[in-house]
Amino acid sequence: MPKATEQTRRLAVARTGTGAGSGEAAGERKPLLAWDSLADAWRALRFPVLVALLLITVQILPGPQAFDDAYITYRYARNLANGDGFVYNRGERVLGTTTPLYTILLALTSRATSSDNLPWLSIAINAVFDLGTALLLVRVLPSFGMPVRVARLVSIAYVLSPLRIQVALGGMETSMAVFWLLAASHQYAVKKGSLSAAACSGIACLTRPDLAILPALFAVHAIARSRRIPWKPTAAFAAVTAPWLVFSWFYFGSPLPQSIIAKSSAYLLHPYQASTDLLAYVGTRSRSSLRSWPVPAIGISAIVMLWLYVVGSWRAARENPGALPLSLFSPLYVLALSLANPLLFIWYYPPLLLLLEGFVDLGIFRLVEAAKRRFQAPAMGLAIAGLLILEWAGTGGPQGWVASLSGREDEYETAAAALQSVLEPGRSIGLPEIGVFGYAFGGHRVVDTVGLVTPEAVPYLLTGPAPGQTFTYAISDEVIAELRPDYLITLEIFIRPTLMQSESFHASYRLIREFETNALGSDGLLVFEQSHSD
């Protein structure tokens, strides 16, 4: 016993620096403590630093590659930042964007930085939210039974996803929406905070309305567990969303965006178009898979991926019952989009991608979990790398992906620059695609022939495809005759079966410029000016 006591005393002296020679011991220990602190800080920061460097490389250095739709939000944000109100056309209170919170954030950032370069501001904002999403994945997935080291691989794979990068560079609100989707789930499943989860899901809904599925799942799950209505989380959700709903009702006349009304009439799709595209994406991680994969291979792959998703969801729910709402989000998201059957633009896919990265990889880990520990990480690394390679292959590789970033928006920007000295200031411009041209000609009133920001155009949208076309995006004779814009800028394909065949249109408008392009199969970009007024 005396010997053990002496050993204990010496150990205490070594740890605390007390007793004989304590001053020297303490003096010698201080540098070691400082070094240990730096080492601990570096261990904590090295993964965030790695992700930040990856985001700078793949998302900041390439520069903005904004989609045409992003420019609609930019114009709203610029008008708001300049004090003209939440409007697209000055003096016209029409809600033509579905992302009010992202619009407000862009406007505030523009004011705070004294910069009106909204494309650059948007990709910087997106990079911040994508960094947050990557770090949250490493907190959420381990609570579902995935080792931290594997969760980090999943997080890096998500950061390097070509689809995610393209959407982030495109300037859309999706990065912000996905972050709040995951933040709400983190609060609900990991932090067990129903109030904070409800608040985060409210923010998500103000960023993207289709994310309203998540708070509904939170509510159903809470009721199933406690047999009581979650009044406090409901109040928290309402406290976040109600101010915008009240404001939009009085300011715009309705909280329902005009763009949703217009788009529901502007596209004529096969009844199973959305569901087919979504299931093909689940199976192949590619939006172009229907053109490059045999249909049987798509079906088999989709079945395998869905099975892995179920296995991963089951594992997550066993580890953490709070994972259930998040795991159910994907099938309900696919079901909702399949029933609504919208034209699925690329920015619809990242919420689905995020959960595929998580639950499919968790399902794969469940299968390799039985292997020896030293084999688990390499096996998961190969599986995650294989799925990422599958994504990149679907874009045609790096060369095909870079080419996909240079769409018709670049041609529109070139044409807009050439037309700055041609179009007279203050006159109205008719546009079937209002993004780039609407942003470039911010001082002009835009007549949107599809009705996203011009409600008067909706009654004149074609109810079926024009002769020789498979879409309803063509500009009708009636909308031009009724709204009579001073100028009309359009791809030839949008007027090929209608205005190009109309004698009354040619009597009222004359062609003043033509730009060469084959975008969407068009024979040029045409600029018309009203030749006389009645």
Judgement on whether residues 401 and 417 belong to the same structural domain of the protein: no
pLDDT score recorded for residue 25: 44
pLDDT-based confidence at residue 271 (cuts at 50, 70, 90): confident
Q: Is the pLDDT reported for residue 15 higher than 50?
A: no
**Token duo for residue 527:** 């600029």
Judgement on whether residues 288 and 431 belong to the same structural domain of the protein: no
Average pLDDT across the chain, whole number: 87
Q: Is residue 27 part of a domain?
A: no
pLDDT digits 0-9 by tens, 212-266: 999 999 999 999 998 999 999 999 999 999 999 999 999 999 998 987 777 666 6
Instruction: Give the chain's length.
Output: 534
Sequential DSSP letters for 360-420: IHHHHHHHHTTS-HHHHHHHHHHHHHHHHHHHHHHTTHHHHHHHHHS-HHHHHHHHHHHHT
Q: Is the pLDDT reported for residue 273 higher than 50?
A: yes
Instruction: Assign 529 to helix, strand or coil.
Output: strand
Lowest mean pLDDT among 245-249, 251-255, 488-492, 528-532: 528-532
Q: Is residue 369 part of a domain?
A: yes
- Give the DSSP letter of residue 450: T
Range of the domain at 458: 408-530
pLDDT digits 0-9 by tens, 396-455: 655 444 444 457 888 999 999 999 999 999 899 999 999 999 999 999 999 999 889 999
Query: What is the pTM for the complete model shown?
Result: 0.88
**What's the structural domain count of the chain?**
2
**Token duo for residue 396:** 């045609």
Q: Is the pLDDT reported for residue 37 higher than 80?
A: no
Judgement on whether residues 238 and 364 belong to the same structural domain of the protein: yes
Judgement on whether residues 196 and 330 belong to the same structural domain of the protein: yes
How large is the average pLDDT for residues 453-470?
A: 72
CA atoms of 8 and 10, how far apart (whole Å): 5
Judgement on whether residues 311 and 441 belong to the same structural domain of the protein: no
Type of residue numbered 322: G
pLDDT score recorded for residue 373: 72
Q: Is the pLDDT reported for residue 533 higher than 90?
A: no
pLDDT score recorded for residue 469: 54
Lowest mean pLDDT among 219-223, 302-306, 475-479: 475-479
Judgement on whether residues 280 and 144 belong to the same structural domain of the protein: yes
Tell me, rounded to whole angstroms, the distance of Cα 342 from its chain centroid.
Answer: 16
Give the domain-ending residue among 405, 437, 468: 405
**Token duo for residue 102:** 């992202």
Better pLDDT: 75 or 35: 75
H or E element, residue 513: strand 509-515
**What are phi and psi for residue 22, nearest 5 degrees?**
-65, -30
pLDDT score recorded for residue 1: 44
How large is the average pLDDT for residues 327-335?
A: 95
Percent of all residues in the chain with a pLDDT value above 70, rounded to a whole number = 86
**Token duo for residue 145:** 């039974």
Judgement on whether residues 350 and 266 belong to the same structural domain of the protein: yes
CA atoms of 50 and 66, how far apart (whole Å): 26
pLDDT score recorded for residue 8: 47
Judgement on whether residues 398 and 346 belong to the same structural domain of the protein: yes
Judgement on whether residues 369 and 510 belong to the same structural domain of the protein: no
Q: Is residue 203 part of a domain?
A: yes
Q: Is residue 8 part of a domain?
A: no
Q: Is the pLDDT reported for residue 516 higher than 60?
A: yes
**What are phi and psi for residue 101, nearest 5 degrees?**
-70, -40
pLDDT score recorded for residue 396: 61
**522: domain CATH number?**
3.40.50
pLDDT-based confidence at residue 31 (cuts at 50, 70, 90): low
How large is the average pLDDT for residues 82-102?
A: 95
pLDDT digits 0-9 by tens, 180-200: 999 999 999 999 999 999 999
Q: Is residue 173 part of a domain?
A: yes
